[in-house]
Amino acid sequence: MPDLTLTADESLDLTETPTRQLRLVSTGLAPMADIPVRSRGKPDPRPCYAPCCVCGAQVLTGRTQAGAQLALDVGIRTYIVDWPHGAPVPVFTESRGYPVHRCAREVPA
């Protein structure tokens, strides 16, 4: 039985120049101009999420079902207290609620 020899269909010489030409693409900008930054489509915050007009802290404003307007401190974490009967210490679970905003510069009544 004769020996089997494999041969390449094309030359495998890596020193050849590529047959495909490189293309230069122009951006239309001057050579030293800054590349424009494209926003990623992040929407602007809604007007109800803005700094407090008194102290400048970021608050979320809205109305209760009764119609009272409130501002909430969304930067303060709140917790639910779970103290099982007979346990020596309570267990705190992070809550999705937010406390009512109290300005740091608020003048006491």
List the pLDDT tens digit at each of the 109 positions of the chain: 567 777 777 766 666 666 677 777 666 666 666 666 666 777 776 778 888 888 888 899 999 999 999 999 988 889 999 999 999 999 999 998 899 998 865 545 4
> Do residues 50 and 58 touch, judged by C-beta distance below 8 A?
yes
Direct distance between the N- and C-terminal alpha carbons of the chain, in angstroms, rounded to an integer: 107
Task: Please report the pLDDT score of residue 109 as a whole number.
Answer: 44
> Do residues 47 and 64 touch, judged by C-beta distance below 8 A?
no
Task: Please report the pLDDT score of residue 107 as a whole number.
Answer: 47
Task: Please report the pLDDT score of residue 66 as a whole number.
Answer: 93
